[in-house]
Structure 1
Amino acid sequence: MSKRLTTTAGAPMPTNDTSKTAGERGPVMLDDYQLIEKLAHQNRERIPERVVHAKGWGAQGTFTVTHDITQYTTAKIFSKVGNTCDILSRWSTVAGEMGAADAERDVRGFSIKFYTEEGNWDVVGNNTPIFFIRDPYKFPDFIRTQKRHPMTNLRSPEAMFDFWAAQPESVHQVTILMSDRGIPVNPMHMHGYGSHTYSVWNDKGERHWVKFHFRCQQEIKNYTNDEAERLIGKTRESYQEDLFNAIDEGNFPKWELNIQVMPEEQATTLDFNPFDLTKVWPHDQFPLIPVGMLEFNKNPDNYWQFVENAAYSPSNKIPGIGFSPDKMLQGRVFAYADAHRYRLGTHYEALPANAPKTAVHHYHKDGTMRFFPQMTGHPDAYYEPNQYEESARPDPSVAEPPLRIHGDADRYTQEDKDADYVQPRKLYAEVLDDDERRRLHQNMAAAMGPCSDPVKERWFAVLGRVHPDYEAGVREAVKTAGDDNAIPVTDDTPTQAAE
């Protein structure tokens, strides 16, 4: 037997077919409140899209701890091998709007929400271990170069390469973006990274710096420019189609969570800044340590509810995991949560996608979306401190150990900026093979083709500081752009050794 259709207030509806009118041919009546309700609701079905990472795909699943890392962290999720928790993912392109094609050359967002017994822990990252910039002051300007020109309303390669040339630390990320890794086949065939440096501490109060890596358990696959162009001509939703169908058919994608670990004091002895988001930690110095397995085995019943409403922020952390002097991380701790307050509403973390699976007690009051009761533990306790024993109180036992602030941080900001070229130089000269370098030259030439000559020359100067062959190769590719000499992509990521 079918269920009765009701209004949002629960009253049964006699019809959902025709408007109420004054007579057979009379005008529509204003007291047809359900007609008004349907039209008014439709007008409000859209909310502001994300300023960044607007186009995304997601899935639900389970995380299982497979290795003991209690020597590094007191986080309860890692307290015992075999511990599990629910997880929610969202993968995305960075620059494209909601209607953009999935298979565009772009960095991919890679975010995971862990619903742990001590609250939600979010890892907000990308499919690259680094980023274009290291200071949040530059972030709004950088994103504007990735969006549309205010006069033409078109994407502007001129703006992109002009900005990158003025911020040479970006050449590491741009090199990865223009390499074979720039267009993953879909979210199931790429690695993920927390990218930022975080801190963890053990039950002795000893701190280590860590980076989080999500190692794809499927084959790494990427498209060439030509392959992606042909695919987009057929469908703009290839990632959503591939991901949904794979899970629907029982082919559950998996990633292994790994960490790189650095003792707190070692950060002062390195020849690069370990808190610089444009730098990787070499694997020969800081090998990957396996932690657990993520399996995504459920398509959300409602995409809007669990993917569009999903709100990830590095400010969502749990006891045993903390921040670091990473400037971009510190900027994002504020910016991401504030973006959600604007886009979704004041109490966005009470939405099903974001609500923790443990008890919540806080003193936030009123505002939009206040659809839940007081959560302070006592009806008279709407402030803190207060006299009521049953009310919510802070727990000093979960406090983070004191952070040691070192006075030599300025040594990373001296005039010698060659540090920005060391890692991309190794990537270009030692990791990529000849065919991969050729495709890199061609992809970059295609991307910067519309740029003015002054912007091209500024970018060539940056490439020349990385390696003279890099500059020469892209110069030649710009001259011969349009030649159909593409080489098939290999089935593995070219930059793994330099992560």
Structure 2
Amino acid sequence: MTEQVPTYTLAEGCPVASSSTAQAFRPGNATSTPGRSLALLQDTQLIETLAHFSRERIPERVVHASAVGAWGEFEVTKDVSTLTSAKFLNGIGKKSKVLLRVSTVGPERGAADSQRDVRGWAMKIFTEEGNQDFVFNDIFWDFHNNNPEGTHALMLLFSNRGQPASIRNLNSYSGHTYKLVKDDGAFTYVKFHFKSNQGIKNFTQAEAEEMAGKNPDFHMEDLYGSIEKGDYPSWTLYIQTMKPEEAEKYRWDIFDMTKVWPHKDFPLQEVGKLTLNRNVQNYFAEIEQAAFSPSTMVPGIAPSEDLMLQARMFAYPDAARYRLGVNYQQLPCNAAESSVYSPYQRDGAFRYNSNYGGDPNYVNSSLKEVKFKGRVGANNVSNGGHNEWVRGKVAGYSSEVTDEDFEQPRMFWQVLGHSGPNEQSDLVNNICSHLGKAIPRVQHEAVAVFSKVDAGLAMQLKKGLKL
């Protein structure tokens, strides 16, 4: 089938004879003095082009600015209807469209994507009940020295896991604790895990530095090329579930994002499969304008009392309003494929749908009948007396670091010792390479923090830093 050749026009649709013609006033003989001319405001093509050019860039994300993305699908492979009423998770073989954006955290747009950093995993699942966003991580020095509860994540970052060889070879984790909710309001605590079916593969520090010099967009090209040739990358979704009564007695705070749930205590359960099978056609329209928020949840999934999760539920959509405008949910890459009727949200910059026509800007009006689904999501959570466990009076909360915060970092250090001959030494070398640029006082403070993890680790760091 022959593709129709488009006719060049201005933004309003008016055709123009040539894209290289400018209307200008030329003194004297116009043909003999082609370089001497004055531009005219009546040259709409020139004015439109220049005005739009200077406004092409939107505010860069404060974090997660550099990213790669693709389209795909999520397929349910195991029945979890006993845990949640979320329709996109119920029915083996059921498929939902997915938009995935994987980013570094600190670097600016255009930075090398192979450098050491935590990776942000932002996924939008388009379901019949609305969009479900998952905003996960794959998981400086003065900050960490004074906030050592993040030592576990810091060690993950400076191990070889902090430099994945490709997007296709990394796992993603929810970090936060969520709730899977049934129709009757009963819920189960849950953590989500996306495990790469391509296996885990990481760069060493030297390999990552070499790749950053050769090709700063290596991860982007690798993912694009893989999808383009039909070698579709995939991940299996697993969940860990914990009953409310188990949460009350567990040795760690299940709402603490710095803590993981050991698999021996709460085994992984397979749920479904994510496959990326379509490349984006326009990066700006589909990835740069994409907005994700942990507050976007379908019925059957609800937030827990995780303080960090509660904060992110406000911060993410608020950042999108600043960056993209108040009507960012209408952009094609963000728009729900289910029915949307939210007449309180009217007008505002870049409103380009019907704006609800002549409907009242409120509900429960005699002029417009509106039906409700009933108690859904966080409003439908009930589990008897357990709710009293997480309720209480309003009070100030201060994060305090205890020996408990170093138990899981110690376990991770021990895991590295069994993972390969160089895993522990690579972690030490990577930390020394980075920490060595800090002033001596900060280096000593960092070693003191790591001494609470393992005395041997601290000694190796001290030796590597020549302290």
TM-score for the superposition, normalised by structure 2 = 0.92
Which residue in 2 is equivalent to 1:227? 207
Shift in CA distance, 33/470, structure 1 to aligned 2, threshold 3 Å: same
Residue 408 (structure 1) shift:
8.8
**Residue of 90, 110, 119 corresponding to 1:99:** 110
The CA RMSD over aligned residues, in Å, is 1.9
**Distance (Å, rounded) in 2 between the aligned partners of 1:228 and 1:416:** 34
**Distance (Å, rounded) in 2 between the aligned partners of 1:407 and 1:86:** 35
Residue 369 (structure 1) shift:
1.3
Alignment of 1:420-435 (within 5 A): 420-433=405-418, 434-435=421-422
Residue 372 (structure 1) shift:
1.1
Alignment of 1:12-91 (within 5 A): 12-23=15-26, 24=30, 25-91=36-102
Question: Is 2:267 the counterpart of 1:284?
Answer: no
| Partner-residue secondary structure (3-state), 2:39 | coil
**Distance (Å, rounded) in 2 between the aligned partners of 1:113 and 1:415:** 34
Residue 235 (structure 1) shift:
1.4
Amino acid at match of 1:256: T
| Partner-residue secondary structure (3-state), 1:466 | coil
CA offset digits 1:203-258 (Å, max 9, x no partner): 33211000111010002111111111111111111111111111111111001111
Residue 366 (structure 1) shift:
1.1
Aligned 8 A contact 2:64 2:104 in 1: yes
CA offset digits 1:308-358 (Å, max 9, x no partner): 111010111000000001111000000000000000111001001100111
**Residue of 416, 424, 443 corresponding to 2:430:** 443
Aligned 8 A contact 1:442 1:478 in 2: no
Aligned 8 A contact 1:68 1:291 in 2: yes
Amino acid at match of 1:231: M
* Structure 2 gaps, min length 5: 31-35
**Residue of 391, 400, 406 corresponding to 2:389:** 406
Aligned 8 A contact 2:175 2:258 in 1: no
Question: Is 2:244 the counterpart of 1:241?
Answer: no
Residue 479 (structure 1) shift:
2.5
**Distance (Å, rounded) in 2 between the aligned partners of 1:342 and 1:292:** 35
Question: Is 2:430 the counterpart of 1:452?
Answer: no
| Partner-residue secondary structure (3-state), 1:92 | strand
Q: How many residues align?
A: 445
**Distance (Å, rounded) in 1 between the aligned partners of 2:300 and 2:81:** 10
Runs of 4+ in 1 over 4 A off after TM superposition: 407-410, 412-416
Aligned 8 A contact 2:122 2:134 in 1: yes
Amino acid at match of 1:279: K
Residue 440 (structure 1) shift:
0.6
**Residue of 334, 350, 363 corresponding to 1:384:** 363
CA offset digits 1:62-91 (Å, max 9, x no partner): 111110001100001122111111000000
**Distance (Å, rounded) in 1 between the aligned partners of 2:463 and 2:65:** 35
Q: Identical aligned pairs, as a percentage?
A: 40
Which residue in 2 is equivalent to 1:369? 350
Shift in CA distance, 34/66, structure 1 to aligned 2, threshold 3 Å: same
Which residue in 2 is equivalent to 1:197? 177
Aligned 8 A contact 1:214 1:258 in 2: yes
| Partner-residue secondary structure (3-state), 2:85 | coil
**Distance (Å, rounded) in 2 between the aligned partners of 1:360 and 1:367:** 17
Bigger relative CO (Cα 8 Å, ≥ 6 apart): 1
CA offset digits 1:407-457 (Å, max 9, x no partner): 6999x9897701100000111124433521111110000010111111111
| Partner-residue secondary structure (3-state), 2:452 | helix
